[in-house]
Structure 1
Amino acid sequence: MANFLLVHGAMHGAWCWRRVRDALSDRGHRVFTPSLTGQGERVRQLSRSVGVSTHVDDLTDLLWYEDLREVHLVLHSYSGILAGPVAERAAGRLAAVVWLGAFVVRPGECLLDVEPPEVARRYRRQVAEAGDGWYLPADPAFLSQWGVRDEELRAWAGPRLTDFPFRCQTEPVHFAPGPLAALPRCYVRHTGPPLSSLDTSFATAVEQGSAVRSLATGHDMMLEAPEETARLLMAVAEPGPPVPGP
């Protein structure tokens, strides 16, 4: 049995993991799927003060209060940038980090630093014009950007997307690199279709020694292919040396 902490990305919430969570739980694994402050069912907590440090607190508080150890920390999309500070503050509680189609930053970088410049400019414009200067408005159109093609899935997920605090995109992520580097790490790249915004993050993860796996889905792999995602996570969590390739 493994312990999994599944963390959603921008505009999502615990809801996006429901079928992956069920698949892992049915196989005897212990699974936690928190909604980060201001996201999912915690949308009423959204404010301009919510940032990266808020979400680091969310995860490290959960690890401490539940007294979790040997946890496989699975980070999707935006939440990938939380890996370094969580590994530093939750020393001794993590077994491994899995970046599931996630962004990866170096110490001192923010999310927009690792986005393509044209994407960062677009987000800044959307925040200024439609987000009162402090949030990125949720829009079902993002599902197209993320490669979600199934119309039934789009109709279900679209209304559940939540506005995303801009501070999470601009707040630098500060952490000592040692604790993260000491953990087994795996980057899961999605290929059907890929997301070019993740190219820099993937390259950084590989450069820093992460193992690599792949799934032939779009960006929201937990929604599009929950069973395949669960099987991959179980395979990554199996004892033994990391797998160096897809």
Structure 2
Amino acid sequence: MATYVLVPGACHGGWWYEPLAAELRQEGHVAYPVTLTGLGDPQELLAKPINLDTHIEDVVRLLVEADLHDVVLCGHSYAGMVITGVADRVPERIASLVYVDAFVPEDGASVMSLTSGFWHDWYIGGAKADGIGVAPLPVLDPRATPHPLACLVQAIRLTGALRRVPRREYVYLANFENTPFTPFYERLREDPGWHVRSLPVGHNILRDAPDDFRKILLGAAP
């Protein structure tokens, strides 16, 4: 039996992972689809400041309070920032990191510093209404909610402790238009410390290649 903690990308909650989580549970595994602060109840965006540290703390708190160990920690898209921070804080609880078309930041990087052009237009333009939340792109699921702008602006701070995680995987989704993730794929596929693969699908892997995604997660289990 493996334990999976599944962190969604910008504007998405744990609902995005639920079909996959249900399949993993049916196979006897434990799965926690995470809804990060501000992504479940939009009123949270106005109630308190939310930044990248908030989201990292959300996942660390889950791991500690549920006393989870040997975790397969998966992050899609923006959540690469989150799982990187989590792994740096509690590497002893994590067996595998699985980045799915996601950011892999180094110390001092932010989503804003790792993107440009189309993405900056969305982040800044999408926050015009209140300067707090970035409105979902029209192509996203109707359940998508505004994403806290500060999460995209704040730089991550890393000690290097995440290098203690035994296994790291990167899944590149090659048919994602305007992808900001090509540099990570090109860098990591030359790194012997990573297991890297590419799939000829778009960014929504749960829609385009759900069976491949499930097999990748099963293969990442300790």
The TM-score with structure 1 as length reference comes to: 0.82
Count matched residues.
Answer: 220
TM-fit CA distance, 1:161: 0.8
Q: Distance in 1 between matches of 2:187 and 2:60?
A: 24
For 2:75, what is the secondary structure of its paired residue?
A: strand
Q: Aligned AA for 1:133?
A: G
Other-structure match for 1:35: 35
Aligned equivalent of 2:212: 228
CA contact 1:108–1:173 (8 Å) conserved in 2: yes
Tell me the equivalent position of 1:162: 145
Aligned partner letter, 1:73: L
Contact 1:114 1:201 in 2 (8 A): no
Deviation per residue, 1:168-196 (Å, 9 max, x gap): 11000001123235431000111234652
Which residue is 1:219 aligned to?
Answer: 203
Question: Counterparts in 2 of 1:37-186, with a 5 A limit?
Answer: 37-39=37-39, 41-47=40-46, 49-115=49-115, 117-127=116-126, 130-141=128-139, 143=140, 157=141, 159-180=142-163, 182-186=165-169
Checking the alignment, whether the CA contact within 8 Å between 1:5 and 1:74 is kept in structure 2 is yes
> Residue 24 of structure 2 contacts residue 31 of structure 2 at CA under 8 Å; is this kept in 1?
yes
Identity %: 30
Q: Secondary structure of the residue that 2:214 maps to in structure 1?
A: helix
CA distance in 1, matches of 2:49, 2:72: 29
Higher helix share: 1
TM-score by length of 2: 0.90
Is 2:201–2:209's contact at 8 Å kept on the other side of the alignment?
Answer: yes
Distance 1:140 1:124, change over 3 A: closer
Structure 1 residue runs of 5 or longer lacking an equivalent are 144-156, 240-246
User: Structure 2 vs 1, CA of residues 195 and 211 (structure 1 numbering), >3 Å: closer, same or farther?
Assistant: farther
Is 2:124–2:134's contact at 8 Å kept on the other side of the alignment?
no
Does residue 203 (structure 1) correspond to residue 186 (structure 2)? The answer is yes
Shift of 1:204: 4.3
The Cα of 1:18 is off from its aligned counterpart by 1.3
Measured on the aligned residues, the alpha-carbon RMSD in Å equals 2.0
Distance 1:71 1:127, change over 3 A: same
Name structure 2 gaps, 5 residues minimum: none
CA contact (8 A) 2:51 2:154 kept: yes
How far is the alpha carbon of 1:207 from its aligned partner? 5.3
CA separation of 1:68/1:35 partners in 2, compared to 1, >3 Å: closer, same or farther? same
Asked whether the equivalents of residues 45 and 132 of structure 2 are also in contact (C-alpha less than 8 Å), the reply is no
